[in-house]
Amino acid sequence: MRIIGLRVYHVLPRFTFVRVDTDEGIAGWGEAVLEGKSRTVETALHEYERFLLGQDPRRIEHIWQALYRGNFYRGGPILTSAISGIEQALWDILGKSLGVPVYQLLGGAVRERVRLYARADGDTPEECHAAATWARERGFTMVKTGVSRMAHALETPGWLAHEVARIEAIRDALGKDLDLAVDFHGRLGPAMSIWLARELEPYTPIFIEEPCLPENVDTLATVARATTIPVATGERLFTKWGFREVLEKQAAAVLQPDLAHCGGILEGRKIAAMAECYFAAIAPHNPLGPVNLAASVQLAACTPNFLVQEFATLGEGYLERPFVARDGYIDLPAAPGLGVEPDEALLEERLYPGDWDSPRWLHADDGSVADW
C-alpha cells in the first residue's frame, strides 16, 4: 500500500480536515487546524506531501519521526498541527486496512464509553445557572465554564466577586454530585490566579484550567502549590517534550493534549503514559471538529488515566453518521479506523474560501489581557 495524494478541506465554521489517499482505495481522515493560521498549516501539509507520496501509510512511527526530525527546525504549533492531522489519517488507514478500531491497535479498550462535558457559560450568574441546568437535565455529569472578563495583573474585589458569583450559581444548579471545571484561559497572572482559586475552593471545581500561560512552568507550579484545586494545562503544549517539564515539576494534575496539535494519536498516548507515572489524569482538549473528536475518543478508549473529553460538535452536518451522546457519554465506536466518515458532499457545500478570522489582540486598549 502506498500514499498517492493528500487533500485539505477548510470547512465552516473553522474546521480543517485532511484526507490521505492510497493506491488501494483506502482513504484516511485527520484534522489539522490551528485557529487563525489554517492556510499556514495547509502550506505545511503540502510541503510534507512531497515526502509522503509513495510511502507505506502503515509505517506510522517511521513517518512521524521523518516528518518531525527530518528538518533542522522541529515542533511548534504550525508544524506539529500539520503532523497531527497526517498522523490521525494514517491511523485511520491502518485501522481500516485491518478492519478494527484504532484503540484495538493501541492495547484495547479499558472502558465501554467516553465521558463528555458540556459548557455552562454566561455573563451573569443567572445565565450560568440556566446553562448548567440545561446540561444537568440532558444527563451530563460535568460542565466547564470560563473566566468571563479580561483581567489586569491584579484586579478589584468587584471583579473577583462577579466571577465567584457565576461559579456559585453553577454549583447551585449542579448540586454536589456533578463536576465543575473553570477555565482561566491563561488570562490571569499567578497572583490573581491564586486569589481567585482560593475564593473558588468552597465550590470544589474538579480543576482550574490554564491559571496562567504554560511558558513559565515554575509559575504554573507556584499556582498548583497554592490551591487545593487541581490544575490543568496542555492545549498549548506540543509533543511529549512539551509536557515533560510540567510533569517533572508537578505543575498540573490534569494534562490536556489536543490531538490536532500535540502530534497526533500515538503522541497523545505517549503523553498519557508519561502522565500515568505522575498520577496525572488526561482530559483531551478539543474545541474543534468531529474528526479530532473521533481521534480523541480512540485515545480515551485505551487510556487508563483518561478523565473526560471536551467537544464542540458531534458531527451533525459533517459526518455521514454523527456521534450520539447518551447521558453525557459516547459509546465506543466499533467501526474500523477512527470510526467516522466525513460526508464529502456536505463538506464541499461548506468550504470556506479564505482564512479564519485572526485572533483578537493579546492586549486590550485598557492594558488588560484578552484571550485568543
51 lies in some domain: yes
Of all residues in the chain, what percent carry a pLDDT higher than 90? 87
Dihedral sign computed on CA atoms, order 128, 130, 135, 139: positive
Of 162, 120, 158, nearest to 142 by C-alpha is 120
CATH number of the domain that residue 63 is part of: 3.30.390.10
Residue after which a domain boundary falls, among 74, 99, 124: 99
346 lies in some domain: no
The whole-number pLDDT of residue 150 equals 85
**Residues tagged active-site:** 185, 285
Mean pLDDT of 294-310: 98
163 lies in some domain: yes
First and final C-alpha spacing in the chain? 41
Structural domain boundaries enclosing 43: 3-99
- 206 plus 325 within the same structural domain: yes
Q: What is the pLDDT of residues 1-37, one digit of tens each?
A: 999 999 999 987 788 999 999 999 999 999 998 888 8
pLDDT band at 355 (very low <50, low <70, confident <90, very high): low
- 127 plus 41 within the same structural domain: no
Q: If you compute the radius of gyration of the chain from its CA atoms, what whole number of angstroms results?
A: 20
Look at 51-60, 236-245, 347-356 and tell me which has the smallest mean pLDDT.
347-356
Q: What is the pLDDT of residues 78-120, one digit of tens each?
A: 999 999 999 999 999 999 999 999 999 999 999 999 999 999 9
Single pTM value for the model: 0.93
- 95 plus 108 within the same structural domain: no
